[in-house]
Structure 1
């Protein structure tokens, strides 16, 4: 029996937890915490509609004095209050009493700018503010944020310290790109009065300098053969994901964004939502289609989510980001006993391109299959076509050393 101001909302929230697929043990732990929180609110004289983040923190501190806090208590409590806000019980503006840092205020406006005025993809809106936050925190420290006083030497010093030679060119370039985007936003909103975007230095990098890091073909075969034995729900999901990566060369983000309506079983095709909000149908290979069907029939939990691939533990929502797919691939590689030295999901995309090249397909065909927007993205695979390179290689002048 729940006592206190949360009592009228206990049963609806309990039904919500059951619909999310939580186990009986998790269900009882969460409902027990709700009961304690409701009693604490009653003792403190706090009504439901007055709950803020500060009250959550105060309850957890009080609870820690009487019993040991568990790792999931904070997440459980924030889940309750988030549900109450979603239902309109708590006014979302009630959190305004919690002090928001100047950096957070600027980043909130920057995210809105990226979404509403730039129309960028969700992954970009998620990633750029993270790079900008680290820069703003670095230059402001514990003090006030004064964007108007930022000068070029601070930017150059930050890039010099945070884009060292041990970083890959791509990761260093992401810092530079995000900062230029942010300074264009700051100039547009009149937070700064000089073109600081032009003051962000470029990171040294050379086009076509790297070689695609592809998983060897025999390792791909071992991985896919090992996945045939995975019968648990998570194993069925992971096999379907591996086949989409290896057979169609899908990016991790494209796998995450797949929805049930994207699979056309009658036509045997898959609608892929790629970079730049592009959408393109691809033929669905037989084994990949079988794996998806097996997961949907025997492994996918009941959920209101329209995403094809869901979390294997409650709450059964869709995979959150590309890193989830990367972790699935890394665990699958370890489970199959493969040690190629690489753990990212993109290596399967590279492996498909290299295999197509060795089978005699042209770079144009490979670019169309991988949905590259620029021919340069495909051209670098020519460096792994050793047979073709031997035909155009010049003889070594003089005697071989």
Structure 2
């Protein structure tokens, strides 16, 4: 069992000392709730928890059919809590020290081709009042590799259009500068000058992208918009706003961009997070081998095709 006072101290630690976002804090607290429920069922205090107890908890999670990825996240949250207890001297030994997370295979995210990106943006109804706003949003998602929360939270103070840069308030309240493409700058300027852009309501004046009610556009609205556009464009892939971020990174890598530069633009803390895009690039190379290597199929290119491959 975990008392409310300790729960609140841990919450303050996550927010004020680790500078985690509201969503991240909520995720860690949900992981703590699972530990608290287990301790209550076992009639144990957090001070009495052993390595074997935690192994038993993890076994229960597997029995419930929870995925390895979700279990790994829960273990990470539990480890964070016990590190906090050790730091604040609530406990003398950390029972999670030897606790291992399940192995998780690499999951290659869905990526749009350049042609699919163009089709999707081209499906926007420019006669609709929000047409220019939608075009600017999607162009920035793709050209700058933003997370959807970074897009919806974009403020005028983050814009440096003359220099073609955005300042992004990312995870953990960390800021980064991201260059904008000429297309993104052009579409954004057109949106800001659009007479159809609604007047912001009080308290929403800072936000760039507004709903038709004058409030900062929500993440859900962006999700729904992209689903509708994908259907209109005849794209059958399961996509979301994050697909544009994956496509941004993949297309940069395939074009020869440096991995460290992509890491900085995405705002990844570790280069290991960015390295997933090297696997996507290898998949592209595998496709090329399977398409053109004579051992893989009976296809033989025509003389005209041979000329293009040399």
TM, length-normalised to structure 1: 0.59
- Contact 2:10/2:84 (8 A) holds in 1: yes
- Contact 1:330/1:343 (8 A) holds in 2: yes
Residue 239 (structure 2) pairs with residue 343 (structure 1): yes
Distance 1:379 1:365 in 2: 12
Distance 1:215 1:292 in 2: 22
Question: Could you tell me how far 1:389 is from its partner in structure 2?
Answer: 6.1
- Contact 1:237/1:300 (8 A) holds in 2: no
Q: 1:311 to 1:157 in 2, by over 3 A?
A: farther
Matches within 5 A, 1:181-330: 181-198=80-97, 200-205=99-104, 209-229=106-126, 231-233=128-130, 235-296=131-192, 297=194, 298-303=196-201, 304-305=203-204, 306-312=206-212, 316-317=215-216, 319=218, 325-330=222-227
What residue number does 2:306 align with? none
- Please, which moves more after superposition, 293-302 or 344-353? 293-302
Question: Structure 2: 5+ residue runs without aligned partners?
Answer: 298-310
Matches within 5 A, 1:82-161: 104-140=4-40, 146-161=45-60
What residue number does 1:25 align with? none
Distance 1:192 1:240 in 2: 52
Distance 1:130 1:230 in 2: 44
Q: 1:399 to 1:262 in 2, by over 3 A?
A: closer
Question: Structure 1: 5+ residue runs without aligned partners?
Answer: 1-100
SS of the counterpart of 2:275? Answer: helix
Q: 1:230 to 1:351 in 2, by over 3 A?
A: farther
**RMSD, matched Cα:** 3.8
Q: 1:378 to 1:274 in 2, by over 3 A?
A: same
SS of the counterpart of 2:277? Answer: helix
SS of the counterpart of 1:198? Answer: coil
Residue 84 (structure 2) pairs with residue 178 (structure 1): no
- Contact 2:110/2:239 (8 A) holds in 1: no
Q: Which has the higher contact order (CA 8 A, sep 6+)?
A: 2
SS of the counterpart of 1:128? Answer: helix
